[in-house]
């Protein structure tokens, strides 16, 4: 009976979000309350379960996500992202410009959230397309595949960060594993798949020609732009690798590395550095930099609420005891837990459209299975991230962004965008399973 209630609640969640267009946070609250009542949690205890669900998940990741949003916003507003893109274009030339766009999308996508990165980089794509008379969809897919992969696989993006917290994974190892999977996945879904799209025709693109923005501030240089945007990645990797290289290290040195390698401290250090290198050094006052950060918080607030809602649902499953029942049942299925996680996330993604909601909802169902099935939590984070990107279609805002910006027909949008996202998802799962094979042997 418990499983039937959970299935009905998941279906209700999907219907509320996709059909009735209810805000995901509100949908999570309603469904979680109904699930709690149906699963037998006493009415007097249910409010505490809700509060605990929000507190447990937001307490461990709010700081990371908010600081990451601030850094990404400053990277965009300062012109650092544009500088990175310009360098890549100049380096690769016209013949291999799609490779330059791919690398640009990857580097810029690490600190920037997907929607910001899309709106920021698409004008660059169109300016190159118009200037050199190149196929727009081919150029666009190469860059947007990289943006999509960083969004689904790599911290400090909200979904991977939330999954790391839920599964008690290691942020640095998840990032290292994610980078190993991300690079071949981007190459496959971007430049290689993009070659099949050279003949896709777009409508007029003049509306999106690149326009130079006037600014009172100086633009950051090449080195400054690259280092400021990618500093969190280097710090996280460094903090993860140092203990492996010096296993005998102990005492205050080990404590210092542990402190400096904590994801929240890493993001704080990166933001402090960027505040100077991309803000004050470029002529902005502290108040102007803080205004950028305030806008970033406004941008990230809806995502934090979705994550909070998923935490409530997870807590209801835990407090009712159904999580352990579900884990025991899932263990009997003849499917590897990593594949099962990918599949559940993919199904929810197809039904709802939101990658973040899909990954976090699947995590709530699968979390008890991690310890019982002895699955590497870092790989489960990546498996759910890959599944949450599968088969983007009409209920995903990214689908419509791509269609409208590139002025495509529905058929060509499915042929290009939907297939690209699915390649990213399947290739990501393949990379996860390969890593699991190497780690366990």
Q: Give CA–CA dist 53/59, Å, rounded.
A: 10
% of the chain surpassing 90 pLDDT: 40
3-state secondary structure of 372: helix
CB 114 within 8 A of CB 125: no
Task: Tell me which of 108-117, 284-293, 399-408 is least confident.
Answer: 108-117
Q: And the tokens for 214?
A: 């006037």
| Token pair for 145 | 């595949």
**210 has pLDDT over 60:** no
DSSP 8-class letter at 326: H
Tokens describing residue 348: 């929810």
290-332 confidence digits (pLDDT tens): 999 999 898 888 888 988 888 898 899 889 988 777 766 776 7
Q: Are 230 and 107 in contact (CB under 8 A)?
A: yes
Instruction: Give pTM, 2 decimals.
Output: 0.79
Please report which confidence band the pLDDT of residue 128 belongs to, taking 50, 70 and 90 as the band edges. confident
Contact 263, 171 (CB under 8 A): yes
Instruction: Return d(Cα 63, Cα 81) in angstroms, integer.
Output: 23
- Angstrom distance (rounded) from CA 427 to CA 423: 6
Distance CA 185, CA 9 (A): 34
pLDDT of residue 208: 42
Reference 386, options 181, 175, 205; nearest CA is 181
Burial (CB < 10 A; 0-12, 13-18, 19+), residue 108, is: buried
- Encoded tokens for 232: 């969190």
Terminal Cα distance for the chain, rounded: 39
Rounded Cα–Cα distance for residues 40 and 353 (Å): 31
């Amino acid at each position: 009976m418990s499983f039937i209630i959970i299935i009905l609640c998941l279906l209700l969640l999907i219907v509320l979000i996709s059909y009735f267009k209810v805000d995901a946070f509100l949908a999570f609250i309603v469904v979680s309350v109904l699930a709690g009542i149906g699963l037998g949690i006493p009415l007097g205890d249910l409010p505490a379960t809700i509060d605990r669900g929000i507190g447990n998940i937001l307490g461990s990741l709010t700081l990371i996500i908010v600081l990451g949003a601030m850094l990404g916003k400053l990277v965009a507003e300062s012109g650092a992202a544009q500088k990175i893109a310009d360098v890549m274009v100049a380096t690769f030339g016209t013949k291999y410009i799609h490779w330059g766009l791919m690398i640009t999308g990857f580097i810029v996508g690490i600190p920037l959230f997907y929607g910001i990165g899309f709106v920021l980089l698409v004008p660059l794509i169109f300016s190159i397309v118009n200037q050199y008379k190149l196929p727009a969809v081919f150029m666009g897919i190469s860059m947007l595949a990289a943006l999509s992969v960083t969004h689904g696989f790599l911290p400090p993006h909200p979904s991977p960060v939330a999954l790391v917290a839920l599964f008690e994974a290691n942020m640095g190892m998840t990032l290292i594993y994610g980078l190993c999977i991300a690079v071949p996945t981007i190459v496959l879904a971007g430049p290689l798949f993009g070659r099949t799209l050279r003949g896709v025709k777009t409508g007029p693109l003049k509306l999106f020609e690149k326009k130079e923005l006037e600014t009172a501030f100086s633009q950051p240089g090449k080195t400054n732009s690259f280092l400021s945007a990618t500093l969190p990645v280097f710090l996280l990797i460094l903090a993860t690798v140092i203990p492996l290289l010096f296993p005998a290290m102990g005492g205050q040195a080990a404590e210092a590395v542990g402190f400096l390698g904590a994801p929240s401290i890493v993001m704080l250090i990166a933001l402090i550095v960027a505040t100077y290198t991309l803000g004050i050094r470029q002529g902005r006052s502290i108040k102007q930099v803080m205004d950028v950060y305030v806008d970033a918080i406004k941008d990230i607030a809806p995502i934090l609420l979705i994550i909070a809602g998923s935490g409530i649902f997870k807590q209801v499953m835990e407090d009712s005891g159904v999580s352990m029942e579900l884990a025991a049942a899932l263990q009997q299925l003849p499917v590897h837990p990593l594949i099962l996680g990918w599949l559940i996330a993919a199904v929810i993604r197809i039904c709802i459209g939101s990658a973040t909601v899909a990954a976090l909802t699947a995590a709530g169902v699968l979390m008890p299975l991690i310890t019982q099935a002895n699955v590497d939590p870092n790989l489960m984070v990546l498996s759910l991230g890959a599944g949450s990107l599968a088969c983007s279609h009409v209920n995903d805002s990214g689908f419509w962004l791509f269609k409208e910006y590139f002025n495509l027909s529905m058929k060509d949008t499915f042929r290009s965008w939907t297939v690209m996202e699915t390649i990213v998802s399947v290739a990501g799962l393949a990379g996860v399973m390969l890593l699991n094979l190497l780690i366990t042997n």
